[in-house]
Structure 1
Amino acid sequence: MKTSYIPEAPQRADIDGQAGPVLLEFGTNGCPHCMAAQAPLQQAFAGSEGVTHYKVEDGPGRPLGRSFRVKLWPTFIFLLDGEEKARVVRPLRADDLSVGFAQIDP
């Protein structure tokens, strides 16, 4: 599990072509909603070490977030073999995120 949002985002084509389970997390390091979601994410992520996690810094002019139509932070997009299976926006509990993990990491 990643701990900081990084400004260097992967290309959309790389995400779409990636095999296996992927979690895309969009937000910013100073976002209070993003910080509040980290403890639930850590709980939900336990046991899902096979999931590739991208913690992408988002904002105006950031093409990856726009391509996924991200409107609020944090937004968690759960993909399996490049296909979106679940999306969770501003989770408050680990259970909110566990539903997404169940869709990609049985």
Structure 2
Amino acid sequence: MYSTDYGMFRFCIADTEHDWRPGTQQYKFIEHCLSTVDRQKQPWLIFLAHRVLGYSSGEFYAEEGSFEEPMGRESLQEIWQKYKVDIAFYGHVHNYERTCPVF
């Protein structure tokens, strides 16, 4: 997990191989990263992670019936909304997917 600023962008990068539920070190890092952005300097707040933390129609997720990594969206959706994350990018599933705003 780390963060970086590049021009108008703040990138908050999470480690999906470790616990990100509220109260964990990673959750605290993510919240700190999101809450400390200066929207005058970085108006774009971007969240990145390897495994899909939201929704995916990838075949593996469909077969297991989860459509997401365990504890993904439920654990982070509140702070994504609170700090108005603009976009999230994920890897792992080798499909191109996009959705409209979810809130």
For normalisation by structure 2, the TM-score amounts to: 0.27
Greater helix content: 1
For normalisation by structure 1, the TM-score amounts to: 0.27
Greater strand content: 1
Higher Cα Rg: structure 1 or 2?
2
